Amino acid sequence: MLQLKYLYENYDLAKFSLKNWEYDAETLGDCLQHFRISSNAVYPFLWQGKMRFLRLSPVSEKIESNLKGEIEFLCYLQSRSYPAVIPVASNSGKLVVTLDSVWGKYYASVFLGADGNSIEATDCNDHILYAYGKALGQLHMLSAEYSPKIRKWTYRDVLLWIGKTLGKYHAPNKMLVEVAEVKQALDLLPQTNDSFGLVHYDFEPDNVFWDETRQCCTVIDFEDGMYHFFLLDLEQALDALLENIPADRKLIAKTTFLRGYQSVKMLEPDYAEKLKLMRRFCNLYSYARLIRCIDEEYPNEPDWMIRLREKLHSKIVFLENSVTG
């Protein structure tokens, strides 16, 4: 998540950025109002009546090679006919544009809209959940064959960043111990083409769209991808999916998702035990991002920011309490 100071809408910045792409000027003002800001600012707009999305992020908040590595991977998936979000080149042919503006330096990219509805907005029936699991298995099969020119960071890089962040913001010592233990455990796992590669990281129901017409899933938001064990994506997807499934359907939903996954990629016999380690990694990464997000306080904070800070602080406490020591 971006630091709180970046969570304000900035329509002028969005309009300045869109000078690098084509857009329908007559609908721009109305479209931009449907923005959302979390780990990026995302502004919808139309070009020739078709929905596109402008993604903006402060340069200080991102690693350029990760952004460019994401775009390269998306182009690879497109070449392999995998249904993922499609990046759109700027008027000068760039897929990632670096902007110098009066608001600071920003990275800008544009993506085509995905057809259908996010899986979280569907009834999550067995047919959709099977396709959802299958889409993840297909993604991992393609990732196993992928050789990038621009390599994104690895779980070791992320753990190093987490450790530095915890030190900078004075996290409890038990959290630093957890970083060391998780790194040691991950380092002991064998890294094979079957088990390790470029993961999506956020393969959650709000980032996968179900197209009823074409009967397939389209995947968006690859930005947080890293080199990690494929089981990480499985843990993230199942955790988010089951959170919103009624108790009496959780088991069948999980089983159906896993059947879809295993229709294209087999799971290791001891995968369930390894998912616990993946959850510990995800919790640490969330924790580090959250303490960084809310650390700075600003004069005259609006009510929504005060409420958000309280909500995020509660999440931080929850994550701290989940670590023993």
List of the chain residues with pLDDT < 70 = none
Element spanning 233, H or E = helix 231-243
Placement of tokens 């899933």 in the chain: 217
In this structure, are residues 165 and 286 in contact, taking their beta carbons and an 8 Å threshold? no
* Rg, Å, the chain Cα set: 20
> Which strands sit side by side in the sheet containing 208-211, from one edge to the other?
117-118, 208-211, 216-219
* Domains of the chain (ranges, CATH numbers): 4-112 (3.30.200.20), 117-321 (3.90.1200.10)
> How many Cβ atoms sit within 10 Å of the Cβ of residue 175?
21
pLDDT of residue 2: 84
CB 205 within 8 A of CB 239: no
Asked if 6 and 58 count as a contact pair (C-beta separation under 8 A), the reply is: yes
CB 36 within 8 A of CB 42: yes
Looking at residue 143, its pLDDT comes to 98
The C-alpha angle 97, 98, 99, rounded to 5 degrees, equals 110
Q: What is the pLDDT of residue 88?
A: 98
